[in-house]
Homo-oligomer: A and B are copies of this chain.
Amino acid sequence: MKVKKGDDVLLLLKDGSSYLIKTGEGIKMTHRGNIDLSEVVGKEYGSVGKTSTGEEYYILIPGIVDYIFKIRRKTQIVYPKDAAFIIMMLDIKEGDRVIDAGLGSGALCMAFARYVGSCGKVYAYERREDFIRLAKENLKRFGVLERVEIKHRDIKEGFDEKEVDAVMIDVNDSWNYIYHARNSLKGGGRIGIICPTVNQVEKALETLESEGFINLQVWENLFRMYKPVPKRLRPVDRMVAHTAYLVFATKVSVEEGKDEYEEDGEG
């Protein structure tokens, strides 16, 4: 497959640094020399180019992980490891209608928009106009903007949609919107909440319980990378210790929803 003009391309230098660029747009300056972005056009994906100083670089296809780490952002991003688990726990699939509050820089929204497919929809709420501008740019570049309906709105008055498949809440005071999430979810619909601190988890759990959600689950995950050296295989020296606690629950009819369930620790 050949690079076309206007493609997003990931350029990877031999030292591991990489650049997400659009081809045909002038010069990309790197610490290893300049790359003429018009020369990349017409090359094969997976092939090698050379910078102005003779350094080799690979021409690669950017994936969602690259977009998440490379997009412009003004907020804490949701890491791919968390985004992946959220997609699975909320059971996001083709055709789903999903509420994403708040939008922030749009990293998690990119994942939602990808996996609801061309016939699904993400309703993204965000209070701050500067975040919306940024997220729009990021979603457009990732090619999923038309799947997202962005609403410039404080969510304290609730969401417009009804019978949605899933609601994601990633704001500091999630517990204030769980009632609204409940109103928008279909029966059996799933809610997900991102909580950076244990104090937020406590409050979210209390409200989920009082709002009659069931199947409350709190997860955290630790991803550890290894140095890929077969004869001296071992983990890297340092790793991410914490991103966020992930809280999930399921909406049921409210009258009967207040019992406790046992956890089983499988993941």
Number of interface residues of A (CB under 8 A): 97
Alpha-carbon separation in the docked complex, A100 to B263 (Å): 32
Does the CB pair B189–A225 fall under 8 Å? no
Is A202 an interface residue when CB atoms closer than 8 A count as contact? yes
- Chain B residues with CB below 8 A from A56, complex form: 256
Q: Are B221 and A241 in contact (CB under 8 A)?
A: no
**A257 vs B164: C-alpha distance in the bound complex, in angstroms?**
47
Would you list which residues of chain A between 209 and 244 have a CB under 8 Å from chain B? 209, 214-242
B45 and A228 form a contact (CB under 8 A): no
Whether the pair A189, B46 counts as a contact (CB closer than 8 A) is yes
Q: Contact partner of A205 among B64, B65, B83, B230, CB < 8 A?
A: B230
Measured CA separation A220–B222 after assembly (Å): 8
Interface assignment of A99: CB less than 8 Å from any CB of chain B: no
A244-267 at interface with B (beta carbon < 8 Å): 245, 250-253, 255-256, 259, 261-267
Q: Does A158 contact B (CB under 8 A)?
A: no
Task: Tell me the A residues contacting B by CB distance below 8 Å.
Answer: 1, 12, 14-16, 44-48, 56, 58-61, 63-65, 69, 79-81, 83-85, 87-91, 93-94, 111, 114-115, 117-118, 163, 186-190, 196-199, 201-203, 205-206, 209, 214-242, 245, 250-253, 255-256, 259, 261-267
Closest 10 CB pairs between A and B? A46-B187, A63-B91, A223-B267, A239-B241, A235-B242, A45-B188, A218-B226, A84-B84, A16-B262, A216-B228
